[in-house]
Chains A and B, each alone.
Chain A
Amino acid sequence: MKKLINAIDDVVKEQLEGMAVAHPDMLKIHFDPTFVVRADAPVQGKVALISGGGSGHEPMHGGFVGKGMLDAACPGEVFTSPTPDQMYEAAKAVDGGAGVLFLVKNYTGDVLNFETAAELAFADGIKVQSILIDDDAAVKDSLYTAGRRGVGTTVLAEKIVGAAAEAGYTLEQCADLARKVNKYGRSLGMALTSCTVPAAGKPTFELGEDEFEIGIGIHGEPGRERLHMKTADEITEMMALAIIEDGAYSRTVREWDNEAGDWVEVELVDPPLQSGDQVIAFVNSMGGTPVSELYAVYRKLAEICNDKGITIVRNLIGPYITSLEMAGCSITLLKADDEILKFWDAPVVTPGLRWGA
């Protein structure tokens, strides 16, 4: 293992200390428990947006804390979910009286820890809502697995819902919008190499020199299949078609009911993409793949979307939800209506995303 590390136990802490020094105008870092908050938190009367998860996906989530996006981010150890005390203390720090929305990527650890935090925050008199992001089209069914994982759509949801909260949306409106973004977003990832978690010291999995894995998760979870290396165009086509031709996806999720003070089961169905849809296209690097290759992927993706009658109206290209130094990329297509586009275009000032201001 060759990494820019001082001590393995300090990896997450020192990264956060660096962020605090680099971006004091945007965010502050709190330790024990660990969370990142907007510099001007709490913003009175505004719904507060909180996300979090294991570290190693930078700039997500800490790099998306700031005006127009997240109010707080709760980083766990590398690839390990944060604990409820982090989300609970973060909720208390950023609640401006309008309630707190948790955006949670669908991983069992993240879900259980965020659910526990929601109960603690509610018991403390904070209005709370929790929306799951589960957009990884590589996972076919939810009946026999923990369901689709939360991947690329998370970044887009944080941007869009963050802007809506800034514009004065209520907690319920923010939750509805987050649910809609998740419903309209689909992603697929692929890996060219593995990555090494510092505490493990060796690669998470082995991938041969002439192989790639399609459908991989952002922690190296197994994908759909492992194949012999192909060209950028061929791989892009496999990924794009897996998203565009993906059927309706249904599952039951739990959401918090502030009236009942308990969890309720909600049945959700994501409709497939259709010819005539407008989309935001997001081509993301897993960390090790250069932007030049992402543009090669985007070039082919745009051609395929065009052939399928899907219009790309906005794009985002670069490393935003990574897996340490893993080489590979993911594609996310988010069907965009006027509401989604309006908030996508709204100003954002964070270390990781910045425009319009």
Chain B
Amino acid sequence: MVTRDQIVQWLEATATVMTENREYLTQLDAAIGDADHGINMTRGFNKVMEKLPSVADKDIGNILKTTGMTLISSVGGASGPLYGTFFMRSGMALASKEELTDDDLFKMLKTGVEGIVQRGRAQLEDKTMFDAWSPALDAMQAAIDNGQDTKGSMKAAVDAAEQGMKDTIPLIARKGRASYLGERSRGHQDPGATSSYLMLKALLDTLEK
């Protein structure tokens, strides 16, 4: 079971982890993009922090939708609409929920990722955030099917996301600004896959508290 307080704590933890990794994400982006991913994510989640107190007593769907709208209007670049859509969609899927079952938690991530794919049209191995999300969902589904509890299935998702993130290094980018580099995009870890892993890791850390 995941409570509303834990969801709020997850968003707070994500804001913290983005701030801590501001330079790291920006450096990854400088290599194959336009060197603003860490700056944009930090700005976006700081805005979410400003908005959270006004919705922290609302239902989980409402909190997630507010997070999505805030990210959409403050992050910019490609990651604003992508992460914004993730939270908007997951919020819609969990409308009026005051707490989440394990199935709900999976649904939150799955519908969110479906939103990312619909918006960004990414496929596996395009060297995008989807390369972290896709194996994470698969691993989480398998863990749930094997009867693992919330933390166990989240742990499986985070491990798979980390591997997926690292596996973007040898890929040639086929989406976004990095795609214009062609072969030169090889050898660099995708910044979007990295921030996605950090976000999932923050969720696991929150649940393990």
Contacts and interface: CB of A to CB of B under 8 A. Distances in A.
A218 to B, nearest CB: 12
Contacts of B85: 116
B76 A80 contact: yes
Nearest to B39: A199
Given A112-B120, A116-B81, A83 B75 contact: yes
Nearest to A254: B121
A84 B119 CA distance: 13
Contact of B81 (A76, A79, A84): A84
A107 B184 CA distance: 19
B112 interface: no
A81 B76 CA distance: 6
Interface stretch (B53-61, B92-100, B173-181): B173-181
Given A145-B180, A146-B179, A112 B82 contact: yes
A222 to B, nearest CB: 6
Interface string A70-89: 00000011011111110000
B34 interface: yes
Contacts of B77: 80-81, 109
Contacts of B74: 83
Interface string A127-150: 000000000000100001110000
Nearest to A114: B81
Contacts of B73: 33, 83-85
A200 B76 contact: no
Interface string A183-214: 00000000000000000100000000000000
Given A113-B80, A116-B84, A108 B180 contact: no
Interface string B47-80: 0000000000000000000000000111111101
A219 interface: yes
Which of B74, B80, B180 is packed against the most chain A CB atoms within 10 Å? B180
28 contacts: A77-B76, A79-B34, A80-B36, A80-B40, A82-B76, A83-B73, A84-B73, A84-B81, A85-B73, A108-B176, A109-B76, A109-B77, A109-B78, A112-B81, A112-B119, A112-B120, A113-B81, A115-B81, A115-B119, A116-B81, A116-B84, A116-B119, A139-B180, A145-B180, A145-B182, A146-B177, A221-B177, A222-B181
Given A81-B76, A112-B120, 19 more contacts: A77-B76, A80-B40, A80-B76, A80-B77, A83-B73, A83-B74, A83-B75, A84-B72, A84-B81, A85-B72, A108-B176, A113-B80, A115-B81, A116-B84, A144-B182, A146-B176, A146-B177, A217-B180, A222-B184
